[in-house]
Amino acid sequence: MAKLAGQLVEALDGLLGIPVPLRVQAWDGSVAGPPGAPTVVLRNRRGLRRLLWQPDELGLARAYVAGDLELAPGTDLYETLSAVARFAELPEIRTMALGPRDVLGAKGRRVLAVALRAGALGPEPTPPPEEVRKARGRLHSRSRDRAAISHHYDVGNDFYGLVLGPSMVYSCAYWTPEAKSLEAAQEAKLDLICRKLGLRPGMRLLDVGCGWGSLLLHAAEHYGVTAVGVSISKEQVALARARVEEAGLADRVDVRLQDYREIVDGPFDAISSVGMAEHVGSEQYRIYADGLYRLLAPGGRLLNHQIARRPDYPGEPHRTSPFIDRYVFPDGELSPVGSTVARLEEAGFEVRDVEALREHYGLTLREWVANLEANWTEAVRLVGIGRARVWRLYMAASALAFEQNRIGINQVLAVRSTEAGGAGLPPTREEWLVRPAPGATAATPAGTDLGDRRSVR
């Protein structure tokens, strides 16, 4: 069909009442749309059919992951995602549900007429195999949580090594003025956590959701603690144990394949939970908070590092976006930071400090995307083209979400006070936050502006 792109863009412009903020290249070679706008390539009829059946971020993601939709060579990924986000949020798109069975009115029928002439109508295409099928079992039961965690984390330690770099830290870095690389910024973050927790030689640390063991290693090597780390990802635990052995710290660091609800060997002098609470779920959050309170010794500190959503969604719980839920973090839930603080206080904690690191996560995600793109051929070899596309899409989109203040990230420092009410903290914030321990990395001075900073590569 000749000039398909022009007819499709014209029909969409008429439906929306504004120009489509993208250029479209169709499988017949035709191109249409605003000059200079990011160009997306519909490689086949199935790609258009996916968008007709699911005209939102999920349909776009399915088309991209399946290879039915591409970016034109030289098209900037972040610019394209920003344009797509504006397009997908339009009321006409959000309410359209362009399934061929629907009655759309005259404007919508023009889109269907173009698709009909292009031979793009038909049954809804099967989702790509990377998409999680309907989950089984009760939400946030231990078995269902294990399956959800395995989907995301058990995709290969070698793949994560390509994306995360040598630090093997899968949470936002801390971009101090001295941090000139991702690895340095991740080390600064690990040290910041240790200082906030007031770690000293001989203390006992619990790291809930310990990942590949980087915080455990840093705390044991630089602060002299003994540490227990738990994760329900088999591949994470295997590599974390190997790293502990290689560092000669097996006598002081214990890494367990264990659910946080199964820990019974408290008390601990300090507890860290970094990038794990998003998997807990609102129904289980009090169980999570109560459990950590019970495991923490009086006078001990908790550092809870957690992604937050903006408080502009009605009701609780709030699941992540359809794409993130289906492809990236099944059953993940985000809550406003105020809700997190309230749940911790209800469990008995006294919240002493909240630090927002939103801009830091945007920078970190851009570095991970750059790592993935620089190692694209090897990443595809390790996990396949579909999963590599998932990771590229979700990390780039998440970077924009943090930068545009659609989601945030916060470190909440809380204490379990003693019977007499003591918190065990120095009298001023500067004493426990800014002043580094001997040999430790300096913290970012108050007021450092990260707003205009981009990749340090």
Cβ-count burial of 97 within 10 angstroms (0-12 exposed, 13-18 middle, 19+ buried)?
middle
Lowest mean pLDDT among 18-22, 24-28, 235-239: 18-22
Q: Could you tell me the sign of the dihedral formed by the alpha carbons of 133, 134, 137, 139, in that order?
A: positive
Helices (H), 278-320: 285-295
Sequence-separated (6 or more) residues with CB below 8 Å from residue 290:
347, 348
What integer best gives the mean pLDDT of the chain? 87
Full strand arrangement of the beta sheet holding 23-25: 31-32, 23-25, 39-42, 69-71
Q: Which two tokens stand for residue 439?
A: 């040999």
pLDDT, tens digit, 9 for 90 and up, residues 264-291: 999 999 999 999 999 998 889 999 999 9
Q: Which two tokens stand for residue 49?
A: 């059919």
Does the pLDDT of residue 126 top 50, yes or no? yes
Domain boundaries, the chain: 4-117, 142-433
Please list the residues that pair with 253 across neighbouring strands. Answer: 227
Does the pLDDT of residue 2 top 80, yes or no? no
Name which residue leads in pLDDT, 422 or 86.
Answer: 422
Q: Is 410:337 a contact under the CB 8 Å cutoff? A: yes
Does the pLDDT of residue 427 top 50, yes or no? yes
Amino acid 2 reads A
Name which residue leads in pLDDT, 318 or 220.
Answer: 220
pLDDT given for residue 248 in this prediction:
98
pLDDT given for residue 273 in this prediction:
98
CB count in 10 Å sphere of residue 177: 10
What is the C-alpha to C-alpha distance for residues 145 and 139, in angstroms, rounded to an integer? 8
pLDDT, tens digit, 9 for 90 and up, residues 149-171: 888 888 899 999 999 999 999 99
Q: Which two tokens stand for residue 322?
A: 């359809």
pLDDT given for residue 393 in this prediction:
96
pLDDT given for residue 52 in this prediction:
85
pTM: 0.90
pLDDT given for residue 434 in this prediction:
56
Its CATH class, for the domain covering 142-433, is: alpha beta
Q: Read off the pLDDT band of 319 (50, 70, 90).
A: low
Q: Read off the pLDDT band of 89 (50, 70, 90).
A: low
pLDDT, tens digit, 9 for 90 and up, residues 112-121: 888 888 888 8
Lowest mean pLDDT among 132-141, 374-383, 399-408, 436-445: 436-445
Q: Specify the length of the chain in residues.
A: 457
